[in-house]
Structure 1
């Protein structure tokens, strides 16, 4: 199914683009979303996760290198160690709780940023059929310079009614 996933769009929310009262509050935090079209006759969640992992857009170290078609890293992890079974199915409430805690770790965010996060992140969580959280990889999966991210949260949102799978990464470095 890898070749059947089609990258449609991406969104990047950089916290530095918003005015915070305290310059230390934003740090280097951001949210990256990659939307891929899934075929109408797609398989189950595990098959979709495998297709996503095999897709070129998944080969991103999220540290400035961008998508590398022959890349060996995914975020802080070695790509070869990321598999569908390391994703945990989570509820909308749990995923929103994790992300809201990360967003507000230094206090409330500016209204403009909150509006963008609501539209791009929280509204998408609310309509997803299934949500998966990357977990359980352990220290052995972290690549040679993978600790550049202080926090790294990755969710996969499956929205069959929209025919879309979204890779959502929220991190700071």
Structure 2
């Protein structure tokens, strides 16, 4: 199935673009990777496995970018990420986690709010399934994986569009 996922595009929202003072945003960013899958009877667990096996998943999110032979994913060792470590959550829970991470009072510049709506929240609202990668524990953290203060990862499955979207929201 990993070969059947086709990377359609990515978006990167660097909060520095929206906040003139870095103290206001804590070097926050959101990375969005959209992949297409063939419609069929494949279940969400198989889609998660295909995503984990895809080269776009091999990203340490620390400046190295996608490394086809990479062994890290965000702060974690790739080998320790499996479909069963993702928990299904509601669209509302995912939106709340994102909004509280961005700003608990949702006092954000209009341009950032519009970009988050278009690139993340609209996709979240269209998703049939939403999965959240929770904290995997100290044993899963790779050798320099603590560069992120926060690391939130969501996988959005939109069956009607045949798309799976990987959303990583973090700061360092």
Instruction: Return 105-114 or 66-75, whichever deviates more.
Output: 105-114
- 2:11 aligns to what? 11
Q: Distance in 2 between matches of 1:160 and 1:29?
A: 30
- 2:28 aligns to what? 29
CA deviation digits over 1:24-65, x for unaligned, max 9?
111210000000001112510000000000000000000000
CA contact (8 A) 2:151 2:168 kept: yes
Pick closer, same or farther for the CA change 1:137–1:23 going to 2, 3 Å.
closer
CA contact (8 A) 1:78 1:141 kept: yes
Q: Distance in 2 between matches of 1:162 and 1:71?
A: 29
CA contact (8 A) 1:72 1:78 kept: yes
- 2:68 aligns to what? 69
CA contact (8 A) 1:128 1:159 kept: yes
Q: Distance in 2 between matches of 1:43 and 1:82?
A: 20
Question: Aligned Cα RMSD in Å?
Answer: 1.3
Q: Distance in 2 between matches of 1:115 and 1:136?
A: 29
Q: Distance in 2 between matches of 1:59 and 1:106?
A: 33
CA deviation digits over 1:68-126, x for unaligned, max 9?
00000000000000000000000001000100000114861111111101111111111
Q: Distance in 2 between matches of 1:23 and 1:40?
A: 43
Q: Is 1:170 paired with 2:169? A: yes
- 1:141 aligns to what? 140
- 2:114 aligns to what? 115
- 1:43 aligns to what? 42
* Superposition pairs of residues 85-164 of structure 1, within 5 angstroms: 85-105=84-104, 108-164=107-163
Q: Distance in 2 between matches of 1:106 and 1:129?
A: 28
Q: Distance in 1 between matches of 2:104 and 2:169?
A: 13
Q: If the length of structure 2 is used for normalisation, what is the TM-score?
A: 0.96
Gaps of 5+ in 2: none
